[in-house]
């Protein structure tokens, strides 16, 4: 993949079945309405919009509470489709921007990126930006909601998990190339999982103490070791609700406006961004479209927008 390509693909994923709070399904529409195309075109990119992946309306489904994760049989084919589309767009030398939707969609997007590089005997790194670790498994999740499990699936932490074995192999991403940034709310068993997983992680305290530039310098080094691209999966709840109120699970004490932008600006500087997820926007909780507009600004930063 040409890391200097000025072509992007927009993939809308109106999925909120992985969460217990509804509304993230409207995220792709809200981001498009916030002038997504116009703002990307201003950076001289060629845009191809893949439209939205079809996701069943929750009200038309019977809630299968016995399933773990919840809605497993509905979400599994959706993430398979996401993976296939991401692979297809990467093969066309486009940078996929996956707009969600809850964070369970990343099982598909990261799997697609992983498959693309695997087919070329290459590896990729992953930077996971989130208030939560998302490293529960079906056997440890207190809720059964898939949006709290995607990173564990991608790391192949539970081998009999259908999501972990998506596309025919487990461990889509090596722990030695995976970084979590911004965590500040972790479930009990997740603490042990984080420590045992081997991933690099930075809590909000570490960001407070060291500053985002230092954190990102180390994160990029970690994600770049022997890799050919970096996938960034950015959950908007990583940002403090003061700047991003429109998320399903807001947590106070998050990234500032400038910290979020610096993070993505530094990724852009590497010229190694292969795929970007922007997830968990919930327009029903937003204030004057503040979070939708911020999401578009962050996408611009990831694509290399600079002050001068």
Tell me the catalytic residues. 103, 130, 132, 134, 147, 235, 237, 280
CA distance 236 to 300: 15
Give the contacts of 230 (CB within 8 A, at least 6 positions apart): 124, 125, 126, 127, 220, 223, 224, 267, 270, 272, 273, 274
Give the contacts of 179 (CB within 8 A, at least 6 positions apart): 125, 126, 127, 128, 199, 200, 201, 202, 219, 222, 223
User: Which DSSP string corresponds to 274-285?
Assistant: EEEEEE-B-GGG
Instruction: Label residues 237-247 b or e (16+ Cβ within 10 Å = b).
Output: bbbbbebbbbb
DSSP alpha helix (H) spans, the chain: 27-33, 36-41, 72-91, 106-118, 150-154, 188-197, 204-210, 212-224, 257-270, 290-302
Q: Which two tokens stand for residue 217?
A: 């310098």
Nearest to 131, CA basis, from 181, 192, 177: 181
Nearest to 31, CA basis, from 289, 302, 235, 264: 289
- Can you state the angle between helices 257-270 and 290-302, rounded to 10 degrees? 30
201 three-state secondary structure: strand
CA distance 31 to 140: 33
Could you tell me the strand order of the sheet in which 200-203 lies?
A: 46-52, 7-13, 95-100, 273-279, 230-235, 125-129, 178-183, 200-203
């Amino acid at each position: 993949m040409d890391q200097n390509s000025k072509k992007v693909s927009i993939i809308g994923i109106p999925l909120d079945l992985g969460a217990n709070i509804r509304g993230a399904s409207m995220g792709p529409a809200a981001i498009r309405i916030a002038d997504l195309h116009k703002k990307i075109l201003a950076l001289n990119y060629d845009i191809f919009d893949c439209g939205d992946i079809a996701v069943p309306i929750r009200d038309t489904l019977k809630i299968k509470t016995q399933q773990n994760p919840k809605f497993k049989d509905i979400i599994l084919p959706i993430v398979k489709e996401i993976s296939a589309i991401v692979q297809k767009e990467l093969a066309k030398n486009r940078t996929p921007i996956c707009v969600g939707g809850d964070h369970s969609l990343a099982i598909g997007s990261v799997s697609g990126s992983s498959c693309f590089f695997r087919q070329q005997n290459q590896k990729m790194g992953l930077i996971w930006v989130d208030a939560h670790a998302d490293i529960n498994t079906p056997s440890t999740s207190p809720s059964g909601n898939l949006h709290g499990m995607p990173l564990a699936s991608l790391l192949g932490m539970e081998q009999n998990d259908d999501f972990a074995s998506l596309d025919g192999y487990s461990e889509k991403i090596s722990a030695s190339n995976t970084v979590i940034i911004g965590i500040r709310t972790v479930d009990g068993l997740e603490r042990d999982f984080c420590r045992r997983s081997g991933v690099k992680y930075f809590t909000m305290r570490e960001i407070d103490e060291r500053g985002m530039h230092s954190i990102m310098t180390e994160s990029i080094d970690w994600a770049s070791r022997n890799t050919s691209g970096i996938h960034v999966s950015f959950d908007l709840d990583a940002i403090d609700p003061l700047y991003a109120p429109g998320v399903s699970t807001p947590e106070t004490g998050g990234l500032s406006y400038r910290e979020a932008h610096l993070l993505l600006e530094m990724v852009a500087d590497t010229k190694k961004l292969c795929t970007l997820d922007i997830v968990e926007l919930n327009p029903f909780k937003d204030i004057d479209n503040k979070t939708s507009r911020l999401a578009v600004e962050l996408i611009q930063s990831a694509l290399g927008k600079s002050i001068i």
